[in-house]
Structure 1
Amino acid sequence: MTLAAAGLLTLTACGSTTVDDIRVGPGKGWPAAFHDARNSGASPVTGSRNLSLSWARPIGGPIGAPVTVGEDGQMFVTSRTPTCAIFSFQMENGRKRFCNPMGPGGNSSAASAIAAGAAVDGTTNVYVGDDGGLYSFNALGQPRWRTPVAGVPVSVQFTGDGNVLSVTQFGQVDVLSRQTGHREVSTVQLLGEPDFLKFPNLARPADGTGLEDCATGGPLCSVANVSAVDGDSGRFFVTVWQPGQRAASVEALRYDGKEIHREWSAELLNGGSGASPALSADGSTVYVGDNENRLLALDTADGRTKWVQDLGFPVRGGISISDGLLIPSGDEGHLLALRDQGDSAEIVWERKDLGLRGRPVQTSGGTGYTVAPIGTGLTLVTFDTATGATVDSDELPDAEGTTVGTSIGAEGEVVVATRIGELFVFKPEK
């Protein structure tokens, strides 16, 4: 009787186990391109105001997307090299943990992972796009699954129910199971379905078509940016340049667990957008920039424009949002902070002496980090987010050009990736 009872308990426990529940992490590390589903570009970790360079290394190829960081500090970065498309490094010492080819047949030389999105879940499984598919690898670099898609997933995010949201530069939207890669709902094509009856010989474009336009939101890249996701409502926001239209649009869609609905579209991104949309903390406002130097705030309910602010330079990458403070990214212009006043934007402070070379980020405790050109090289500047004042600066040795992202680790490490292909990791001084 005791054995039977024990067996029943064992079966019951097995039936309710959560061992196989691959959860999304609680926000430590840098699990997505802009930290979280909202694209906040901000970390809940208290940022250090006294950093020192821990290590730096080239990876052997260019870098096009920010480094993603798991809760345990494992780092993932994509590139284009003769042998590897995705690399993993240890935060502590920069030692390579694995490097894998991707693309059909494992062809890394043809892979477009350099331009693809990536995300890391709570058990350090990584999800990353490549030529014509979305891959998942575990923490050891072992393939878990690959799901074919049309194009290259430039946006990889997590939905509120813990699935993977993939959007390609061709506008194919999929929600995939993190466990299996199977489609959870029907695919949505933002550019519409091709009419093969009218055009029977219509050829599918090569998967990497238009990726060269994604960095600046040009017309050849229909979807150039990472989607912003509101996990509570299921809404997500995509920038789309429909063929033949005069400007790109912000489109709102909603995933309800059964299907994807298209809710509204606002065609107002003049010249396209090289900046990913970002959501306010309450989900009521989506912020996005266009190529006519404008930062725009839209009502998430209906797409109504709340305000427009001329920055004098185009936003590139994203917009960091923390405690209502908006700090735009860019490869031009200068560091500045704005606050949303409801029907207008107020410039809180600006540093015209600090040029932008990438994506500023904010951390808890009122500390921010940005890369600026100082002298003949690049410098990581630590600043006070309330005033913009510099509190620390650290040179990126021999760094050139611009950076593609700044990420924050779970222990307050600051990771900077340059476009030419170097990683720099700064650690808080004890």
Structure 2
Amino acid sequence: MRTRTRVVASLAAAGVVALAGCGTDVDDITVGAGKGWPATHHDGSNASSSPVPGADSMSLSWSRPVGGPIAQPLTIGAEGQMFVTTSTGNCAIFSFQMLTGRKRFCNPLGPSTIEAPTVLDGVSNVYVGDDGAVNSFNYLGQPRWRTPVAGVPVAIQFTGDGNVLTVTQSGQVDVLSRQTGGRVVSTVQLLGEPDFLKYPGLTRPASGDGLDDCHTGGPRCAVANTTAVDPSTGRFFVTVWEPGKQAAALRALRYADGAVRQEWNAEVLTGGSATSPALSADGDTVYIGDNSKRLIALNATDGATRWTQPLPWAPQGGISVKGDLLIPAGDNGYLTALRDTGDKAEIVWERKDLALRGTAAQTSGDIGYTVAAIGAGLSLITFDTTTGNTIDSDPLPSATGTTTGTSVGPEGEVVVATRLGEIFAFTPDA
């Protein structure tokens, strides 16, 4: 089955021509960090922290179901427009307005869109994958372009020069023009090119092949996590589990000089990757969690391990990083913070009474937000990131299960979505 997956490369990498819409050679649209939550974990560093000042008191503004399950965190544009993927039969990507939760648009896409994250540019053009393609829509939901790829893009970010970087679960890496969807450099296959002479009967697997293993970083999902990008160096970090390997690896690749090349490979993720990689603010350190219940810090330049820190649970999803403070997620764990001291990690505080049901987001002013299980339900917890003390607690009415992430809006709004498919938007109290 894994050998069959490799055939995807040649079929899409052969350069199937992008279906380009109207474009221009002039590009003055901003991308990257800033107000809003334009990527799965805020920006290319995957640090799940926002420069927006946090509020010490929040109130529920509105909630609404989307009609289907949700697997990825919501993204939020600079003006507050929200985007989320799901699977409803009729709609696969939704957009909502922050003020009221009113739907702006919903568009049909392939059934695997639910597993595809979204990323937004400065005018809320949205970029999202589905079964065998990368798509772009404007803020009204009108299609801009669609480019075929092999598999389902489970990682999508912006490069330092404003192009779209995508990686599918089968290991295909593409850099696409944000204006037209055209390939900027040759496609790279993280699992290598298929050998048709040795395996003449190879057939193309389904686009969603192995996606079920992506939830846990299992071996049938070659790439299970969102890519972290350092725009200043062109270096980006991808988790890869090659067929036959005993452990998954963190790889550093670099997009520069008209090509994507691998810089190093660190096979350190025992049991597979559990989190997306996250970068320190200076880009010198990359943090990652594995399924053997460890946080690992590596030198971003050469992949050397700086330290490993065991946890009582396997971290999941993302790691919130602000300065030297790390807050891991994981639905089997509790809210805790660690400090990177350079050669080791030390526990700063623990809140064993707060069972995590989502990821943490840090904001300026030493304010953090996460969802925790309180009684039989879920609550948004506002906490002091220096001490872990609860500042505010707001229930998610009738919510159960767990959430996909914690997103912070341009005016300090906090938005979370349950995996069962309901969105909750909180606004700061005056």
TM-score norm. by structure 1 comes to 0.93
Are positions 1:48 and 2:49 aligned together?
no
Secondary structure of 2:215's partner? helix
Residue 80 of structure 1 aligns with which residue?
87
Residue 32 of structure 1 aligns with which residue?
39
Q: How many residues are treated as equivalent by the alignment?
A: 407
Q: Deviations over 1:358-399 (max 9, x none)?
A: 101100110000111011000110000000000000000010
Q: Deviations over 1:41-65 (max 9, x none)?
A: 0000001111000000000000000
Q: 1:26 to 1:288 in 2, by over 3 A?
A: closer
Q: Which runs of 5+ in 1 are unaligned?
A: 1-16, 104-110
The answer to whether the 8 A contact 1:252-1:262 is kept is yes
Secondary structure of 1:112's partner? helix
Residue 296 of structure 2 aligns with which residue?
296
Displacement, 1:274?
2.5
Counterparts of 1:263 and 1:257, CA distance in 2 = 14
Q: Which runs of 5+ in 2 are unaligned?
A: 1-23
Residue 122 of structure 2 aligns with which residue?
122
Tell which structure's C-alpha radius of gyration is larger: 1
Counterparts of 1:228 and 1:25, CA distance in 2 = 12
Counterparts of 1:275 and 1:138, CA distance in 2 = 30
Residue 215 of structure 1 aligns with which residue?
215
Counterparts of 1:177 and 1:20, CA distance in 2 = 10
Match runs of 1:25-424 below 5 Å:
26-103=33-110, 111-424=111-424
Displacement, 1:118?
1.2
Displacement, 1:18?
9.3
Counterparts of 1:77 and 1:132, CA distance in 2 = 19
Q: Deviations over 1:377-429 (max 9, x none)?
A: 00110000000000000000010101011100000000001101000000011
* Percent identity of equivalent pairs: 67
Displacement, 1:206?
0.3
Counterparts of 1:95 and 1:101, CA distance in 2 = 18
Counterparts of 1:211 and 1:197, CA distance in 2 = 28
Displacement, 1:19?
6.5
Displacement, 1:162?
0.5
Q: Deviations over 1:327-355 (max 9, x none)?
A: 00111111100111111101111101111
Counterparts of 1:21 and 1:202, CA distance in 2 = 44
Counterparts of 1:100 and 1:369, CA distance in 2 = 31
Q: 1:64 to 1:181 in 2, by over 3 A?
A: same
Secondary structure of 1:275's partner? coil
Q: 1:25 to 1:294 in 2, by over 3 A?
A: closer
Q: Deviations over 1:269-308 (max 9, x none)?
A: 0110121000011111100000010000001111111100
Counterparts of 1:49 and 1:113, CA distance in 2 = 35
1:364 partner amino acid: S
2:247 partner amino acid: A
Displacement, 1:23?
2.0
Displacement, 1:22?
2.4
Counterparts of 1:18 and 1:159, CA distance in 2 = 17
Counterparts of 1:259 and 1:376, CA distance in 2 = 52
Backbone CA RMSD of aligned residues: 1.1
